[in-house]
Amino acid sequence: MRRGLVISLSLLVWLAGCASAPQSDMPTRAAMPEAIALPPMKAFADTRPVPPTRANRDIARDFLDLAFQLESGRTLTHLSRFEGPISVRVTGNPPPTLVPDLTRLIARLRREAGIDIGSAGRESGPASITIEAVSRDEIRRYLPKAACFVVPNVSSLREYGRLRHSRETSWSDLTERRRIAIFVPGDSAPQEVRDCLHEELAQAIGPLNDLYRLPDSVFNDDNVHTVLTGFDMLVLRAYYAPELHSGMTRPEVAQRLPAILSRLNPDGDRIASRGVSPTPRAWVRTIQTALGPGASEALRRNAARQALAIAQSQGWSDHRLGFSHFALGRLLQLSEPEAAFGHFLTADRIYRRSTDTALHRAHTSAQLAAYAVNQGRGALALELIEPHIVTARQHQNAALLATLMMLKAEALKLEGQTEKAETVRLDSIGWARYGFGADWAVRAKLREIAALSPLRETNG
């Protein structure tokens, strides 16, 4: 289940916390006349995922914890998967981008994970997996904190409504997968729909759990990664290895897994184990309270402080400590902007320690660059932004890429490079249309970022 946690730049909060003047509804230099059409939406080319850089011994432990636990912490007694070809169909009211994104994802699963999966077409009759595009409100009616979710033994949201309290929809009772439904928000931004496709389809065919200890995976509720990574594809390839089958117990899978990983990922046998510690449920709960919906600002800030305290008490030095600082920084932006800036700096220092956290750094650098733009320090903002535009593009995060490019345009403007700034800003809009969706959302993001700059007061 993909939770409604958004970790990309929240510039509206930065604006309230850092700007020297309140945001105005008056046009600024970044506001486009509503009558002018925006540039067309941009799309990413094929993904080139980076292979995992962890020891097979660690990956085996991750695999077992992903495959034999649910997100709630409940233990699963048996492995379940599809046995045979997997067909996928689309129903409901999908946006125009859904089917092309799904087609690319299925091609990746066939090519990179070796899974026998293919499209059954739209409304073409029974299929192994049905992806139903419904409204966000319909999803929240069943799971208020979810952006999208996946359910066994149903093919529609209506059917799930009838069976939701029965054993039919229980993952714990499943020993072989035959019919799965994925519910995605057809009225959300194209990137959110695509992100749901990646995570929910991966869980529909593979592991059901998420682990915060994974720095390079969509099987992680921090939502940093939005498309399937090299680690994820290795896990899925191992999940469908011929040595495994539905109904196997954890000890049975554990016995065969080392040989499977040695065959699929021989380099992993030459890497030393890192021995990452488990993530306490208390830290998970506090992070979910801090970044999830439904809690007051005071409660969220308190939860974020508790999460940081837990991370420090655990002696962590990895991305989980960095994410604890990042989360607290986000929640202090309005009330304590200087403290927020300090937490972002600390998160960035922690993320620099690993090659697996380049995307984490990109998110943090967007926050730091927003602060630099607001202070009129264009050169510093450019230094913070430039390395991470490539990272955002490689990881196909259009919302982050557009945000970084918009910030770059403001920084260039501060440095007197007006013509180049307008070129970058125009280029960012195509990515923003994919990342943020509706034209009003794109225009709002442009206004928010432009309002960060001290130059806004000279452009009425």
Tens of pLDDT along 160-203?
A: 999 999 999 999 999 999 999 999 999 999 999 999 999 999 99
How many other C-beta atoms can be found within 10 angstroms of the C-beta atom of residue 27?
A: 12
Residues 315 and 443 in one domain: yes
CB neighbour class for 402 (10 Å; exposed up to 12, middle 13-18, buried from 19): buried
pLDDT of 57 above 80? yes
Average pLDDT over residues 245-250: 98
Domain that holds residue 361: 2-43+279-458
Q: Is the separation of the CB atoms in 388 and 380 below 8 Å?
A: no
Q: Is residue 49 in a domain? A: no
Residues 264 and 305 placed together within one structural domain of the fold: no
Pairing of strands 180-185, 129-134: parallel
| Dihedral of the alpha carbons of 219, 221, 226, 232, in degrees to the nearest 10 | -10
With H, G, I as helix, E, B as strand and everything else as coil, classify residue 154.
coil
**Tally of domains within the chain:** 2
Residue count of the chain: 460
CATH code for the domain of 161: 3.40.390.10
The pLDDT value given to residue 405 = 98
Q: Are residues 219 and 332 in the same domain?
A: no
Contacts of 324 (CB under 8 A, 6+ apart): 283, 287, 304, 307, 308, 310, 311, 312
- Is residue 370 located within the same domain as residue 260? no
For residue 141, the surrounding DSSP H or E stretch is helix 136-142
Same domain, 37 and 104: no
pLDDT at 269 over 50: yes
Same domain for 402 and 325: yes
pLDDT at 342 over 90: yes
Percent of the chain clearing pLDDT 70 (strictly above):
90
- Round to whole Å and give the CA distance between 270 and 256: 19
Number of H helices and E strands in the chain, helices first, is 17, 6
Q: Which of 101-115, 120-134, 433-447 has the lowest mean pLDDT?
A: 120-134
For residue 372, give the CATH number of its domain.
1.25.40.10
Could you tell me if 295 and 351 lie in one domain? yes
Question: What are residue 91's phi and psi, to 5 degrees?
Answer: -135, 180
Residue 22 has pLDDT above 80, yes or no: no
pLDDT at 45 over 90: no
Question: What is the residue-averaged pLDDT of the chain?
Answer: 90
Under the banding of pLDDT at 50, 70 and 90, the label for residue 3 is low
Residue 35 maps to a domain: yes
Q: Check residue 299 and give its pLDDT.
A: 96
**Domain-ending residue, one of 220, 253, 270:** 270
